[in-house]
A and B are shown apart, each in its own frame.
Chain A
Amino acid sequence: MNWEEIFVALPKLLDGAVLTLELVFISCIIGFVIAIPVALMRASQNWWVSNIPLIYTFFFRGTPLLVQLFLFYYGAAQFDAVRESIFWPVLKEAYWCALIVFALNTGAYTAEIFRGAIQAVPHGEVEAGIAIGMQKHTLYRRIVLPRAIRMALPAYGNEIILMLKSSALAYTITLFDLTGVTRTIIARNYLAIEMYFTAGVIYLLMTFIFIQVWMRVEKRLLKFQN
């Protein structure tokens, strides 16, 4: 182990880790905002309402993230119509492409996690709400969604950790995230073991801190169960 070189590379690797965190944080927030309405539609009794968003979740859960990134970044850019559209200034940037694809991807998984949780809300609680005369949107806002999100917390935390690791694909579209920086450094100093080891430790640390925070959130929100 060449500790000296690890020390030299550390500031650059941490810069990369900041971009990784940024990508995961923002895409998970956008993904959450997408997931709630999609989950509600997916949980609907109406066949049409339930199956239209299925096209979206099916595509993003059924294809590799790498393929989605390449289709969106390299693929779309091949069409003149895309390059001449008003969206090009955004789509031109690898950063925005990564954010959009990550958000849509995690949004699809999160929506299915929430759909399962919505459908698992005990009937008795819903019926109680109806019995005291709640309107449908009040019922959802005060009973179904708070209950469903609490039930979904462990699975949702898992999804965020998966997203943190999937974000390592950002380097394939020229971003200098933690993995991108690591590979770029290795191309110069050939110290693959040292650099991947350090990157692995940084990923582990990020995951570790996230799990601690998430456990506290779970404990707080699920207090009523204990």
Chain B
Amino acid sequence: MNFRIISALVMRYLFLYARSPMRLVELAFWPVVDLVVWGNVTVFIQKNTTPEFGSYVLFFLGGMILWDIMFRAQQGVAISFLEDVWTRNLLNIFVAPVRSSEYISATFIVGMLRILITAVVLSFISWFGYAFNIFQLSWWLIPFFLNLMLFGWSLGMISTALILRWGLAAESLAWAIPFFFQPVVAVFYRVEDMPAWARPIAWCFPPTYIFEGMRSVMKSGTMNWDYLGYAAGLNILYLALAGWLFVWVLNLTRKRGLLTKFATQ
């Protein structure tokens, strides 16, 4: 991998964001809308229930913020690719000496920058608006963020592979794919509250361990180390599978001559 090429690709995205303030607004707009809705619901429940139950509903805010971290990571990869499709620049990239790994790495870095912006905005608003301090998760925040980011990258690569294969007809998948997982990764409720048939499915995905871990830390201040280990191990597996899928689809599109359709779409 050539870091000069990765930095050039990242520089391109930074130019793009600097020249399009609406893209920066988009990074904060929906997360803030979500936060305000969940924040108000939390305040309403806290005022109208017992203090003990009221403390549980803070899990909603924690879940919402961490979910958005994963979603932004996935979007960082998928939207960066779509930017090249929308601007008809993809062929310029594919006929330049850019390896797939360098291209994907650049989208990972852009994903990380998107997460940072979103996380700072959400942390600030949740603290000042709803007295919810995400930093109560302390140092656990770091492995939580990292694991969710890795899974977001895997989903981003899968979305990109689908768009490569089916073209812009699959564009909506770039937005929808994370939400296929939302019901089964225990973002807002515990795994034990899910139907029995869904529980084994939930434990197949790394975010489940992170959201369970988050609730454990918020409730008792303790973290199950096994959960972090499972999440990290599964993330490595999913990243490898998603990377393989992306390269396989890229080769398939070359074999079938599908890549050139992006020049005219």
Report if A and B associate in a common complex. no
